[in-house]
Structure 1
Amino acid sequence: MGMGSGIVLFVIGAIMAFALNVQVEWIDLNMVGYLLMGAGAVVFFISLILFFSRRRGGGQVDPVDRGIE
């Protein structure tokens, strides 16, 4: 899951929480929307952190040849 899926989860959650006026007996759609918004925000920020941590540290080349001929 990347940044895009976090945004999609957040948008679907916002639609469920704020735009739907449907009452279902066995589930609270507003709470599900808030949970999806929270999960989307968490996924987005975790993928953002991982994205920037990958760009910062990699790319170091070992100057010693490991015997590949």
Structure 2
Amino acid sequence: MGIGGCIILFALGAILTFAVDWHLSGVNVDVVGIVLMVAGLLGLVVYARAMRRRLVSARTVDPVVEERRYYDGA
């Protein structure tokens, strides 16, 4: 799931929690909204950590080992 999916989950959860006053039998819409918001935030955190790890590993370069040998004229 990408960053867009996480934002959509969070927005949908916020809409269900704060903007909807539906009452369904057997379903608490507020709890469903909170679960969706938590899932969206968790997805954003996981996505951000994965992208950060990918960017850090792309920037690190293996050190160049240079060996110099000096010879006498003998």
Q: TM-score range by the shorter chain?
A: 0.7 to 0.9
Aligned length: 62
**CA distance in 1 between partners of 2:3 and 2:42 (Å):** 10
- The residue number in structure 1 matching 2:25 is 25
* Structure 1: gaps (5+ residues): 62-69
The alignment's C-alpha RMSD in Å is 1.6
Question: Which structure 1 residue ranges, 4+ long, deviate > 6 Å from structure 2?
Answer: none
Give, in whole Å, the separation in 2 of the partners of 1:44 and 1:4: 9
Q: Which runs of 5+ in 2 are unaligned?
A: 63-74
Q: TM-score, normalised by structure 1?
A: 0.81
Give the fraction of aligned pairs with identical amino acids, expressed as a percent. 30
What is the deviation of 1:6? 0.8
Alpha-carbon distance, 1:28 to partner: 0.3
